[in-house]
Amino acid sequence: MLSFSIWSLIEAVSIWLTSWIDTFIIGSVLNQYYLGLYKTSITMVNSLMALISSSIIPVLFSTLSRLQNDDIKFTSIYFKFQRLVSIIAFPLGIGVFLYRDLATEIILGSQWRESSNIVGIWALTSSIMVVFSNFNSEVYRSKGNPKLSFLSQILHLLFLIPACIISASYGFWPLVYTRSLVRIQGILVGFILMKFFIGIPVFKTIRNVAQTAISAIIMGILGYLLKQVNNGSLWSFLSIIICIIIYFGILLIFPSMRKEIFNLVNNLIPKGIRKFKIKKY
């Protein structure tokens, strides 16, 4: 128990360092203006994505911990949670990326318009991170092995720190895009660790969310085309609604996703309304 707690603490420190190392580099290399611009933007996106993951992670950890000795059920529950999260995370990330100017203006105000590109690229990569990487540490700890999470963070830092230092020498925007894209390396490391230490295949993980990814990509393409029609705010809101309808319409084409969506919607409806509907009919 003591060993597990110590490694969990070390893991938490390594995650904190991974989350803040880019801020330290920007603060030391660039000025306060760029630091504020960067940190405010990514904090906004992280808060948005936390609405998806924060309510799921405690439930996932406790559930997986009970099933740690049953590999079949363990993998099944992990895939179920991953698939449910992908239904929301993928379209949210692509949507914020496409409508980054509107999202920035609504949440931060028109004076933060310069940060819209940061918001967009961070939201896009965050949606991928939430689906493929955010739950990995819970998987490692539920198996009683937080060392794997620490190893994952260290391997990521070995790429992250040099990438941030080198890109910072070219200016603020190269650093922003490099920091966002280097997160993909962390996902690849997670794939390897999950495959060889947990026994969850990489291709099966990708195939598990392929339908939501395809639907979100098609939605993104159509959303881009809709944006070319008009740049007005009213049309932007209308096109967002069209994108949502298109996304869920495509998802419903896949028989396996229909049940997932209906269960998700049913869980989002308050119990009182569900009881009222049952009594009514």
CA dist., res. 168 & res. 158, Å (int): 16
Instruction: Give the integer Cα–Cα distance in Å for 220 and 212.
Output: 12
Q: Where are the domains of the chain?
A: 2-200, 209-281
pLDDT tens digits for range 134-144: 899 899 989 88
Provide Rg for the chain, Cα atoms.
20
- CA distance from start to end of the chain: 52
Q: How far apart are CA 137 and CA 230, in angstroms?
A: 43
Could you tell me the pLDDT band of residue 5, with boundaries at 50, 70 and 90? confident
The predicted pLDDT at position 270 comes to 53
Per-residue pLDDT tens digits for 60-79: 998 999 999 899 999 999 99
Q: Indicate the pTM of the whole model.
A: 0.89
State residue 276's pLDDT score.
43
Residues belonging to the chain: 281
The helix/strand/coil state of 31 is coil
When pLDDT is averaged across residues 9-31 and rounded to a whole number, the result is 86
**For the stretch 125-152, what's the b/e string if a residue is b when 16 or more beta carbons lie within 10 angstroms of its beta carbon?**
bbbbbbbbbbbbbbbbbbbebbbbbbbb
Q: Tell me the pLDDT of the chain averaged across its residues.
A: 88
15: closest CA among 120, 123, 133? 133
Long-range contacts of 260-268 (CB under 8 A, 24+ apart): 260/83, 260/84, 260/87, 261/87, 264/84, 264/87
DSSP 8-state secondary structure symbol assigned to residue 195: I
Whole-angstrom Cα distance, residue 236 to residue 135?
33
Separation CA 96–CA 116 (nearest Å): 10
Structure confidence by residue, pLDDT tens digits, 203-243: 999 999 999 999 999 999 999 999 999 888 899 999 999 99
Looking at residue 268, what is its pLDDT?
Answer: 60
pLDDT band at 8; cut points 50, 70, 90:
confident
Q: Which helix (H) or strand (E) holds 84?
A: helix 71-98
Residues 6+ apart with CB under 8 A from 69: none
Assign residue 255 a region (left: φ > 0; alpha: ψ between -120 and 50; beta: otherwise): alpha
Query: On the CB side of 173, how many CA atoms lie within 13 Å of its CA?
Result: 5
- What pLDDT score does 123 carry? 95
Confidence of residue 15 (pLDDT cuts 50, 70, 90): confident
Q: Are the beta carbons of 179 and 166 closer than 8 angstroms? A: no
